[in-house]
A and B are shown apart, each in its own frame.
Chain A
């Protein structure tokens, strides 16, 4: 026996007793899968954030609030009508909220400086958070996983929760759908053109205002959907929004502001980094993503796939 002493207090490494390179390698496939699934959650949240920035040039600090509203709506509906109903109602409700928010408040800030946008969206995020606390109370809530998906699936190299696998498949499908929408629909064309040059699209007669609202609602609906789908995995409380907002910003910064595939790659990088760090130095699993962000900013200030002209706005 290795003896208890090295594990006491704050061990620098926390590995099984046979912590050879072989042992780490044997854990690697499971951790890579976990990092991938975890990354997909970030992808789905960051995607909304990044397309909204690309189209509206808006740094949306209320994005986490969309996630939280989705989680609560999903929870309430799911408790009564089942998880599937929650997954349908939550994104619609959040998209509707986003449209109202956009038309009533946000549109007056489109042309304001970024600090004003940050202040107004941050303010709305706080209002949403405290309203949720007022209405639902601060207590943690969660929705049980449907029985059919509550057991782990044996994948050979590891066992992984069935619900998380279904969740991952769903997110991959949604990412593809959003990409198809942007790539192949006429609205997508306006969106892509708007990301390049907003003024020119308007001069050419494109309805940028409507496209902006649609993109904003789409991004919000995505966050709401993820919020509802994740409530059986993570417990829900009024602070939930902010706890996902921060890593999502890291994802967007790493991937490149406004870049679709940047968000995807950034999300997967952040997920894998967190998972692999937990294998060797779990205490650093939070910090590592900020280190990664700092490195990316030093080497490629516009993010991995970000275009400098997009940033210039």
Chain B
């Protein structure tokens, strides 16, 4: 019998579902000896002795409990912490759609260990302090047993720190800066999305073949993610002879890139690297076209998704980028990807972006981990996650034990013009698919020193 999170109940049969503390939710099975239906998986009225012993045990458990859950939940609260406003809101909203699809599916099939998932949603506005306050509220007020979300490495690192302090699982979704599973890795945090190091390594061949080693001008988002991408890209192309002529760091949420772009234009670079994300990237790329830079230089956007490519329209033509998932590609190859994409399109009338795919899989990965652990105890969950191999929407992948980075494929994509797209989101053709292990940071060079608990 599985050891439940709430203590043992003699005769508890998890396969029957039900909630063992809720008489209204009792499940009846036929008792062959007494030849009548009896309720199972629920404690009915305890005897006086059971009551006293149970009460004492419960007080002791409360006094010495180290886990979050001491009351009997009928539902499990998960915190969905994504930007619904601000520069990365397109990505945040799409992740939210995917979380809700996964939750609806899981609940319809009986929930997690018989408990229905309930959401607590926060808009992190792509601001680290807001993200942390949301997560704190979700954990302390709403009793969330898991926080998930992202869209920015800045918010992910901040929330990861809080979740470590609160000993709460954090499934970081769309965060691409190395730090989330490198310098700032934490025991309670898992990140499946590929990171900047993986993107840069995956891009190496294409960059040298298509972009050459000329003069590179960078426009970079000025926070952890942008810096991480810049460091990784330059360390790949500079040793081969590429010359970095400038790195203009723009504040997150910049709408007008004209002053950076007039500098770029005056510098006459061979390559213009736009390390911006979300709306910032759409503005930067569209404005680059207005400055004539999409014609005079080759454009590289190290990370993009379906919404950004849609917003940039024809300006995304020929632009090389990376992504961990592209609905057109994986749904042709993997039945689970096709099932997910079809369900998503059916529910929302638009295909999932790569961040949404990660959100969806993360929710199922958390459910799987909890069920394998048979417990809500984070430590038991983490032990079951570390080194866990699985196949979901993109072929075999696994969670690396020593830094909690998901190791899965990274794609190099090239944008196609709007006229060549089946739908406005079908933005690219796949140039290369890289095995995660081949491009990931290795333990010998990683700065991750994960905690023991």
Pairing of A with B: yes
B-contacting residues of A (Cβ < 8 Å)? 1, 4, 7-11, 14-17, 26-27, 30-31, 33-35, 37-38, 41, 138-142, 144-145, 150-152, 158-161, 163-164, 233-235, 237-239, 243, 274-275, 278-279, 282-283, 285-286
Please name the 10 residue pairs, one residue from A and one from B, whose CB atoms are nearest each other, closest first. A278-B259, A161-B290, A152-B292, A275-B259, A286-B251, A30-B262, A283-B249, A283-B222, A282-B248, A4-B238
Cβ contact within 8 Å between A7 and B267: no
Cβ contact within 8 Å between A8 and B231: yes
The verdict on A158 contacting B290 (CB below 8 Å), with A14-B248, A275-B259 known, is no
Query: B residues 250-304 with Cβ under 8 Å of A?
Result: 250-251, 253-256, 258-260, 262-263, 265-267, 278-279, 282-283, 286-287, 289-292
Chain B positions within 8 Å of A275 at CB level? 258-259
Cβ contact within 8 Å between B266 and A27: yes
Chain A positions within 8 Å of B278 at CB level? 140
Cβ contact within 8 Å between A16 and B290: no
Cβ contact within 8 Å between B234 and A14: no
Instruction: Answer whether residue B247 sits at the interface, using C-beta atoms and an 8 A cutoff.
Output: yes
Contact of A283 among B245, B251, B255 (CB under 8 A): B251
User: CA separation between A140 and B89, bound complex, in Å?
Assistant: 9
Chain B positions within 8 Å of A161 at CB level? 258, 287, 290-292
**Chain B, Cβ-Cβ closest to A9:** B227
Chain B positions within 8 Å of A138 at CB level? 84-85, 89-90, 93
Contact of A140 among B265, B279, B289 (CB under 8 A): B279
Chain B positions within 8 Å of A286 at CB level? 251, 254
Instruction: Answer whether residue B246 sits at the interface, using C-beta atoms and an 8 A cutoff.
Output: yes
Instruction: Answer whether residue B235 sits at the interface, using C-beta atoms and an 8 A cutoff.
Output: yes
User: CA separation between A158 and B261, bound complex, in Å?
Assistant: 11
Cβ contact within 8 Å between B292 and A151: yes
Distance in Å: Cβ of B278 to nearest Cβ of chain A: 8
> 18 pairs across A/B with beta carbons < 8 Å?
A4-B238, A8-B230, A16-B246, A30-B262, A34-B258, A34-B262, A158-B265, A161-B292, A233-B256, A233-B290, A235-B286, A237-B89, A238-B85, A274-B256, A274-B259, A282-B259, A283-B249, A283-B250
The verdict on A239 contacting B85 (CB below 8 Å), with A9-B227, A31-B259, A140-B311 known, is yes
Chain B positions within 8 Å of A15 at CB level? 246
Chain B positions within 8 Å of A160 at CB level? 262, 291
Instruction: Answer whether residue B307 sits at the interface, using C-beta atoms and an 8 A cutoff.
Output: yes
User: CA separation between A38 and B289, bound complex, in Å?
Assistant: 17
User: CA separation between A34 and B260, bound complex, in Å?
Assistant: 10
Contact of B258 among A1, A37, A145 (CB under 8 A): A37
Q: Is the interface of B mostly helix, strand, loop or mixed?
A: helix
Instruction: Answer whether residue B313 sits at the interface, using C-beta atoms and an 8 A cutoff.
Output: yes
Interface centre among B84, B238, B254, B255 (most CB of A within 10 A): B255
Cβ contact within 8 Å between B259 and A34: yes
Cβ contact within 8 Å between B311 and A158: no
**Chain B, Cβ-Cβ closest to A238:** B85
Chain B positions within 8 Å of A151 at CB level? 292
Chain A positions within 8 Å of B230 at CB level? 7-8
User: CA separation between A309 and B265, bound complex, in Å?
Assistant: 47
User: CA separation between A163 and B260, bound complex, in Å?
Assistant: 18
Distance in Å: Cβ of B177 to nearest Cβ of chain A: 12
The verdict on A4 contacting B235 (CB below 8 Å), with A140-B279, A161-B291, A239-B89 known, is yes
**Chain A, Cβ-Cβ closest to B242:** A4
Interface centre among A140, A141, A159, A161 (most CB of B within 10 A): A140
User: CA separation between A246 and B426, bound complex, in Å?
Assistant: 36
User: CA separation between A37 and B248, bound complex, in Å?
Assistant: 20
Chain B positions within 8 Å of A7 at CB level? 230, 234, 244, 247
Distance in Å: Cβ of A31 to nearest Cβ of chain B: 6
Chain A positions within 8 Å of B262 at CB level? 27, 30-31, 33-34, 158, 160
Cβ contact within 8 Å between A152 and B291: yes
- 20 new A-B contacts, CB < 8 A, other than A9-B231, A235-B279, A243-B255, are A8-B234, A10-B227, A14-B249, A17-B243, A26-B266, A27-B262, A27-B266, A30-B263, A31-B263, A141-B311, A142-B311, A158-B266, A233-B256, A234-B283, A243-B253, A278-B248, A279-B263, A282-B222, A283-B249, A286-B251
Cβ contact within 8 Å between A279 and B89: no
The verdict on A235 contacting B283 (CB below 8 Å), with A10-B249, A145-B290 known, is yes
